[in-house]
A and B are shown apart, each in its own frame.
Chain A
Amino acid sequence: MSLLTVTQGTTAHKVYRWLPWALFVLVVISVPFWAVHTPSFSVGDSNFTFSLGNLNHAVAYMVGVLGLGLLVGYNGQISLGNSFFMGIGGYLTATLVVDNEWPYLLTLVVVLPVCFVVGMLVGLPALRIKGLYLALTTLGLAAVFPSIVRMDQLRDRTGGANGKRISADLEAPDWLPLEDIAEFLSGIPLIGDWMFGDGRLGGRDADDVWVFILLALLATAAFWVSRNLIYSRPGRSIIAVRDNETGAAVNGVNVPMTKTLTFGVSAALGGLSGTMYAMAIGFVAPDVFGINLAIFLIVGLVVGGVGTLSGAVIGGLVIVFVPHWASQIESVPVVPERYLRGPTGTFFLGVLLIILTFFLPGGIVYGWRKIRARLVTVRPAGHAASGEEVELAEGDSAGGLLSRGQDVLDVDDEEEHGEPVSAPAQATNQGEPT
């Protein structure tokens, strides 16, 4: 049963497919002007804030999660060391901007190739080391990064243990009518004043919005490239290697080359994410890129949804905002305040992760799709005449990692990227008439 039935190819279906995207773009454009005023909401005594600084931080992490997702979710190589590449990217950007006075974006000319090559080098041993062995070895690599940047030989460049402040600010260019947009948004009837304040951008606000715009553009580029990669011929090879390595080899896929290149691309995305981090925070320090970040990236990946691209967006938001909000919980009903002393933020973060896994074991994107499938049914054009309802995206949630990835990927095909060819096939395969 579902509330709405949409037949493929009709206007309704087009609306169904593109409306979320239009809304998403609208949100992306307006959110910085909202977040710049640090809106907050309170529950009980706790006050939860949503700031542009945190949002920028999250956008940087999205690309890191995306890189990890490409490797783990699409290529099936369980490597957890992507924080290592983020560190390389962040530190390269920091030193080039500070010591060589390059503009931020120019540093990508160095960051991307360097991370790509280092990623390929790390990917070579991964041809032999597999599964949890690879996972734990790369986790070790992530744990080692802070000691490397603290080394005396690198101190002039890395700033050693104190970290490196990037004093060059990203300033909003004059030609960009940020003030006008803010004023326009504030002028929207009913919600304008309430959400966007008086429409003025004071002090650093305009610069923060500018940073957000840059980061959003970089992230969009990264997602666009990843999407095109996944739906190209090399992308099919990447997925084929994940699903069945031997089978892929038999079908003419150069397995070692595919795996190594995926490692390189994943690392380059990690490097980009590091650069974006440096742009968002303006400071790099050794322990930022340590084992904790590596673990957080996994959390973001799994909570967002393994084997989806959009899961990385959710994942980036989750790993920044959930710990932040968890640490803002001041009171809990029934629990006396004296027990809420110390690392309460970490405690609630853990509880939230466990609860989230119970409700959405496959990640938020997957869960959302299930809900949407319950609300809206897409009827393939070919079956329209029979009048039968076909439920999509009802794949079994108990499948293993790889089969889950496959399910979601197919859904991805059908719902997000509108490749009409695959949709009916999908429906015939999975949907049973009810």
Chain B
Amino acid sequence: MELFLARLFDGLSAGATYAVIAVALVLIYKATTLINFAQGELAMLGSFFVYIFAVEQDMPIYVAVVAGMIVSALLAAGIERVLIRPFDPADHLPLVIITLGLFLVINAAAGMIWGFDPRRFPRVFPSGDAWTMGIARLRWYTVGTLVTVLVLLVLLTLLLKKTKIGLAFRAVSSNLESSGLVGVRAGPTLQFGWMLATAVGTLAGALFVADPFRQLDPLWAQRVLIFAAAAAVLGGLDSLWGALAGGLILGFIESMVVGYVDWIPSQMGLAAAVVAIIIVLLIRPNGLFGTRTVERV
């Protein structure tokens, strides 16, 4: 029982983390129907901004997180304007290569500037346990991350459903050409999508490296991106709440299946997740909560 609870909490903790990064991926997908390979690296860069504000500029951590989100959003706006907008948004392949190039450049630049040694990141939540039973410990950190994800999702849903910019965003993501016809300017709206996704990514990054079990280094995003992408796929690439579901399910698969199914060794967590994803997608090709695409002939 204790072990079961311990694994449950592990799954919750990992899942909440995957979810918050998956939300950033979903946002950029909704805006551009594109997987942005650089999303993880932008989040990594954002987490370094937060680190600089908090540790080197001595800002309170919450202020630093907000400042980091703003700076990274501005950076994303610049990237979108200079590197993305010159290309046709409907032609994905050049854009994919641009984001791959950004992925390499940002990661390498961070390594060149800050080195690859791990750093201590300021804590955003209390470090103790909210509830314990033997080896099972529900950490405040896990609770905090989950609450943050929920608040974030509610805010994002409100933003997209109730505001004008949210309406434009949804219009562009649902049909680029028709939105242009009704007077939505695609460029600035996509730029807004990039800014929003990157700011959320920075928040996700700060939450990820603030876990006392993890440290800040330029490679953390590479380690987690494939899991976050898997979570986004599982939940449905265009579903914000699906990202939460996908993240949690993935976290549980990793902790439960690998913990209890003897013939799956623990280093095969990703393999188990991939198999699970294939099964889910066979039944629901657009993920658990994704919008079914209608094919026109």
Contact = CB atoms under 8 A, between A and B. Distances in A.
A404 B37 CA distance: 23
Contact of A247 (B93, B98, B107, B297): B297
B102 interface: yes
> Which one of A136, A244, A245, A353 has the highest number of Cβ atoms from chain B below 10 Å of its Cβ?
A136
A141 B115 contact: no
Interface in A104-133: 125, 128-133
B35 A136 contact: yes
Contact of B226 (A139, A147, A302, A303): A139
Nearest to A151: B265
B60 interface: no
A341 B93 contact: no
A140 B270 contact: yes
B180 interface: no
A354 B285 contact: no
Contacts of A353: 97-98, 100-101, 104
Interface string B216-227: 000000000010
Interface stretch (A205-213, A223-231, A272-280, A344-352): A344-352
9 contacts: A136-B230, A140-B274, A143-B226, A148-B271, A302-B94, A346-B108, A347-B108, A347-B109, A400-B88
Interface stretch (A59-67, A355-363, A413-421): A355-363
Nearest to B233: A136
Contacts of A401: 91-93
A353 B229 CA distance: 23
B233 A298 contact: no
Contact of B282 (A128, A341, A350, A362): A128
B287 to A, nearest CB: 7
A349 B102 CA distance: 10
A133 B233 contact: yes
Contacts of A399: 91
A343 B35 contact: no
Interface string B110-131: 0110011000000000000000
Contact of A358 (B86, B88, B226): B86
Interface string B275-297: 00110011001110000010101
A222 interface: no
B282 A129 contact: yes
A351 B105 contact: yes
Interface of A: 125, 128-133, 135-137, 139-141, 143-144, 147-148, 150-151, 244-247, 291, 295, 298-299, 302-303, 306, 339-347, 349-354, 356-358, 361-362, 398-401, 404
Contact of B270 (A144, A302, A347): A144
Contacts of A340: 112
A125 B104 contact: no
A302 B97 contact: yes
Contacts of B98: 353-354, 357
Contacts of B285: 128-130, 133
Interface in B171-207: none
A343 B233 contact: no
A25 B278 CA distance: 45
Given A129-B282, A136-B232, 14 more contacts: A132-B29, A132-B233, A136-B230, A136-B233, A137-B277, A139-B229, A140-B230, A144-B270, A147-B270, A247-B297, A346-B111, A353-B98, A354-B102, A404-B93
B115 A342 contact: yes
B88 A398 contact: yes
Contacts of B96: 298, 302
B268 interface: yes
Interface residues of B, number: 53
B155 interface: no
B237 interface: yes
B112 A347 contact: yes
Contacts of A148: 271
B233 A342 contact: no
A302 B93 contact: yes
A298 B278 CA distance: 22
A362 B94 contact: yes
B83 interface: yes
B295 A246 contact: yes
Given A350-B101, A350-B103, A137 B233 contact: yes
B62 interface: no
B90 interface: yes
Given A143-B270, A339-B112, A341-B112, A129 B94 contact: no
B281 A354 contact: no
Contacts of A246: 295, 297
B278 A404 contact: no
A259 to B, nearest CB: 14
Contact of A140 (B90, B92, B102, B273): B273
Contact of A361 (B91, B100, B103, B281): B91
A357 B278 contact: no
B97 A357 contact: yes
B57 interface: no
Given A247-B297, A291-B226, A350-B108, A141 B91 contact: no
